[in-house]
């Protein structure tokens, strides 16, 4: 029997939690993100429910544009502590159905049912039980994809959203993928897609027509990975450790574009302090720090620095941030947004003195 993998994805998670906690919001467009300030806001949409998406709204959209499209929507600031608590409750329910469980973000995870089920019907029945259990106990919905590999299960979970189940056995794989845009493949985004278009590749069906050796010649190791995904030959690796966020970031969009260096440095220090307070609570250390800067013309740049060992050091991080910012000192443009991201995270419960010494 092939592997039986579920990908479970909570539907419009942040917005769904807010609607659950305030039933009056049901059937209304709910947008989580920055304050729109009646169309003058300068942040972005974090997420929105499906009622809001009917008006063309989506995550990462400028909040001012979202307000112009949907001025009658309900705009709420995110409550990350609440969302994390609900996420833990959901994940505890899901992982009770199998020992092989992997959480990959606050609102999605994988479950391996290969040792629990004999066929895809059994797996679909368990998916329905999970959905019913979460809706009853937590009060929100999720969508589930089921197939023989993690990547196909992830593509499938997006197919019948929201609140759906999509099962793709191996014999249905080609027909299922044939007409899909290549950005449905995990790891291929809008920027990467442009490279594929140069070779006349727009759909997954186009990729299926290209032999493995040619894909490797064009795209290298990435081509080999893609070929395995679309042919259902990807290996399923499940981490044993608990979910750790891939990165933690803080951003500040200014009400007015600024060019005063003292103000810019002050805001970077403020962001750096806030992000270190957050990671200290969970014992998180990091190896990479990234500066994000967006200018008045919306040109956006990121610059990163990695350390030799995981740190959690306010002064060292600030020194690295200023070093990264030096590249932009001579830009004759005002700054619209500043951001700091910590990545390559590790939970270090013990001191790292020995590592530093080595």
CB contact set of 251 (below 8 Å; sequence gap of 6+): 271, 292, 337, 338, 339, 340
CA 251 – CA 269 distance, rounded (Å) = 12
Around 163, how many Cα atoms within 13 Å sit in the side-chain half-sphere? 9
Distance of CA 37 to the CA centre of its chain: 26
CB 152 within 8 A of CB 175: no
C-alpha closest to that of 342 among 251, 264, 254: 251
CB contact set of 123 (below 8 Å; sequence gap of 6+): 4, 6, 113, 117, 146, 167
Active site residue 270: no
C-alpha closest to that of 251 among 291, 201, 211: 291
Which DSSP string do the residues of 281-342 spell out, in sequence order? HTTEEEEEEEEEEEETT--EEEEEEEEEEEE--HHHHHHHHHHHHGGGTT--S-EEEEEEEE
Alpha helices by DSSP H, listed for 75-169, are 80-94, 120-137, 150-157
Which DSSP string do the residues of 14-75 spell out, in sequence order? HHHHHHHH-GGGTTS-EEEES--GGGT--SBEEEE-HHHHTTT--TT-BHHHHHHH-TTSEE
Cis peptide before 326 (omega within 30 of 0): no
* Active-site position among 108, 115, 172, 269: 108
C-alpha closest to that of 286 among 356, 347, 345: 345
Around 2, how many Cα atoms within 13 Å sit in the side-chain half-sphere? 18
Task: Kindly list the catalytic residues.
Answer: 108
């Amino acid at each position: 029997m092939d592997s039986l993998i579920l990908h479970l994805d909570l539907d419009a998670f942040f917005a769904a939690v807010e609607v659950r906690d305030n039933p009056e919001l049901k059937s209304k467009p709910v947008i989580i993100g920055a304050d729109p300030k009646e169309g003058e806001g300068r942040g972005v949409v974090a997420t929105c429910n499906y009622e809001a998406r009917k008006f063309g709204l989506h995550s990462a959209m400028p909040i001012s544009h979202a307000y112009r499209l949907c001025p009658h929507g309900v705009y709420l600031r995110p409550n990350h502590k609440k969302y994390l608590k609900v996420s833990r409750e959901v994940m505890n329910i899901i992982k009770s159905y199998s020992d092989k469980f992997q959480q990959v973000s606050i609102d999605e995870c994988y479950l391996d049912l290969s040792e629990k089920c004999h066929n895809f019907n059994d797996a679909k029945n368990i998916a329905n039980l999970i959905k019913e259990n979460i809706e009853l106990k937590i009060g929100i919905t999720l969508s589930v994809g089921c197939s023989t590999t993690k990547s196909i299960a992830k593509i499938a979970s997006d197919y019948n959203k929201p609140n759906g189940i999509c099962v793709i056995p191996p014999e249905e794989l080609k027909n299922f993928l044939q007409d899909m845009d290549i950005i449905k493949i995990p790891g291929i985004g809008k920027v990467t897609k442009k490279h594929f278009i140069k070779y006349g590749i727009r759909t997954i069906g186009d990729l299926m027509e290209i032999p493995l050796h040619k894909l490797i010649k064009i795209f290298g190791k990435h081509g080999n990975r893609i070929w395995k995904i679309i042919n259902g030959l990807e290996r399923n690796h499940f981490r044993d450790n608990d979910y750790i966020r891939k990165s933690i970031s803080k951003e500040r969009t200014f009400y007015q574009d600024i060019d005063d260096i003292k103000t810019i440095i002050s805001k970077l220090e403020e962001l750096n302090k806030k992000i270190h307070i957050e990671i200290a609570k969970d014992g998180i250390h990091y190896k990479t720090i990234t500066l994000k800067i967006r200018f008045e013309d919306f040109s956006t740049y990121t610059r990163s620095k990695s350390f030799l060992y995981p740190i959690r050091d306010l002064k060292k991080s600030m020194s690295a941030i200023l070093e990264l910012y030096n590249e932009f000192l001579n830009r004759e443009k005002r700054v619209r947004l500043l951001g700091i991201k910590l990545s390559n995270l590790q939970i270090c419960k013990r001191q790292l003195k020995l590592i530093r010494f080595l």
